[in-house]
Structure 1
Amino acid sequence: MAKKKSAPKTTSNKAASKKKAPAKSAPPASASGEAEVQRDPPELRYAEELAFLAAWDEGPRPPGWALTPRAVVVFVVGSRDPLSLESPPKGVKKRLAIEPKFVGDRTLIERCVVTLAGERGLLLVGEPGTAKSLLSELLAAAVCGSSALTVQGTAGTSEEHLRYGWNYSLLIAKGPHEEALVPSPVLTAMQGGGVARVEEITRCLPEVQDALVSILSERRLAIPELPASDGSGASQVFARPGFNVIATANLRDRGVSEMSAALKRRFNFEVVEPISDLAAE
């Protein structure tokens, strides 16, 4: 009789599961041990300079500001020579040169700082590629220590992006209450006394842009869905000292929406010109 052929041995699922999966490579780490990112925000990249400037100029600061107006200007345009501290705080260098970060007219930066110190909205306009967004980032980082409270203007931007939205799961389960409220970057800036950035504001629809009118003029935002704590009406959020808005707009974008006259009056316009000096560029 012919011998029965034994079936080929197969690896059971249990045995296969014991096999180790190939190890995934970890993201590259920096010298400090933290995972590297493509681009650090200016408040992290220039944290050493910001800490130095806070100790370098101890003069009067506008309410809610992290630096004095003079120190904000120096942070953006840089210092020609290293600056010195007589008695630096712990962890701060005694001598440091501030790196220039924006190539342009110093008086433009000074006007921007004066606008923000006067609690006026700042609108940076200019040709594409003139570093308007970079300048708004640097100013926000120097004034309030964060450039992250940003709204990117597009044709799909809605009022919720400028005011507030809702967590609909909580809204359905419990009804309108503070836990269900999702604050926008602008509302977060109002609550914390920070600077909100609105990129390419003219790409938003006019009715969306005008959500900023009452915020910039009255410095408060009503939330009619929530009752006031004293039962007198709708809940309101009042802007803390230091709150402001920096917006940007391109002059050559197609498909943009014209700003209303009411909103224009809430901003000081500053034109960021292209670099005219080839050597500087």
Structure 2
Amino acid sequence: MTTEVLRPHAEDEYASELTALVATDDKPRPPAWRLSPAAVVTYLLGGKAGDVEISPKYVGPRRLIEVAVATLATDRALLLLGVPGTAKTWVSEHLAAAISGDSTLLVQGTAGTAEESIRYGWNYAQLIAQGPSEAALVPSPVQRAMTEAKIARIEELTRMPSDVQDALITILSEKALPISELATEVQARKGFNVIATANDRDKGVNELSSALRRRFNTVVLPLPDSAEDEIEIVARRVAQLGSALELPQPDDALEEIRRVVTIFRELRSGRTEDGRTAVKSPSGTLSTAEAISVVTGGIALSAHFGDGVLRPTDVAGGILGAVVKDPSADRVVWSEYLETVVRERDDWAPFYRACREISG
């Protein structure tokens, strides 16, 4: 039976790069940081550490990553904001891995997230048997980050109920977590900070209070500026996912990657890439993350049910599923795009036929 994990944590998957950066990093480091801020930026954006090539984890404006890293070197928490699929979680994980060597101190925000996930909980068997005590206390990931001088990650902060969000205010302003049942508190050690992610596009979003928002420095992660940047991101992540899933890599998937990215960008922007034709936009975000999923799914189809060559028929179904979220309105948008844009591109004829066949 295999013991390999499906998705290693960043600090495990890129351990050799982090080790090389630690060995060659001669710049000042904030308290408890494994790397200097400059080395953290190199880890995120790529570069060299001695003879070791550091692969880029994020493709985007350098200044945004510099601002994010500089924020974490202060007493301000960091809020990564953006539409779904702009690599907020990915950046959060890699920042924590580079700074603390531990990206696992994570709170996942949902409508059902309880305050205990931010503060602390109790082992109720010990609580009933012995009453409140340190032995009965169950620390949250945030409390552990405070005592271990590490970065705590909070995903989808705006999905949490407002009263749970506000449990962060004292932690972020006072750098302390009161434990009233024990008449004591936990004080954060130097090196503690919080990275939160949020978006304002999905349903079920709860606005942050002004008091909480003031405790964060906000960095907005945009969608990729250019088609070439987005193609590079998709190609790199597809290769990484394919390797992790042990999928045979097609000889040349770039043509279909380019097609998927072009379709997503045109439908997002409401205009074809040459600027000549206006198109309607569907209800979904059509993010870079969804493009990665479509191409990876296509590679799985070509590997297991085809000849191993990524073809239009392999990605057509995934694109349809990504675009048509609202069966009535989005299907009209997709049908119009097929007839007014895709059909007119002679070199896209096989893709047009595949889409018409799968769309019925």
Q: What TM-score results when the alignment is normalised by the length of structure 2?
A: 0.63
Structure 1 position 72 matched with structure 2 position 21: no
Match 1:134 to one of 68, 79, 90: 90
Q: Quote the sequence identity (%).
A: 57
User: Contact (CA 8 Å) 2:21, 2:49: kept in 1 or not?
Assistant: no
Report the structure, 1 or 2, having the larger helix content: 2
Q: How does 1:82-231 map to 2 (within 5 A)?
A: 82-84=48-50, 95-226=51-182
The residue that corresponds to 1:252 in the other structure is: 201
Give 1:251 shift.
Answer: 2.2
Q: CA deviation at 1:158?
A: 0.9
**Max radius of gyration: which structure?**
1
RMSD of equivalent CA atoms: 0.8
Instruction: Provide closer, same or farther for how the CA distance between residues 48 and 156 of structure 1 changes in structure 2, counting only shifts above 3 A.
Output: same
Other-structure match for 2:227: 278
Q: Which amino acid aligns with 2:61?
A: D
Which protein has the bigger strand share?
A: 1
1:265 pairs with 2:218: no
**Partner secondary structure for residue 102 of structure 1:** coil
CA deviation after TM superposition for structure 1 residue 217, in Å: 0.5
Amino acid at match of 1:241: K
Letter in 2 for 1:57: D
Alignment partner, residue 237 of structure 1? 186
Aligned length: 230
- What are structure 2's unaligned runs of at least 5 residues? 231-360
Q: Secondary structure at the match of 1:178?
A: coil
Q: Determine the C-alpha separation between the residues in 2 that align with 1:83 and 1:242.
A: 24
Structure 1 residue ranges, 4+ long, deviating more than 6 angstroms after superposition? none
Q: CA deviation at 1:60?
A: 1.1
Give the Cα–Cα distance (whole angstroms) in 2 for the partners of residues 259 and 101 of structure 1. Answer: 29
The 5 Å alignment of 1:48-67 reads: 48-67=16-35
2:235 aligns to what? none
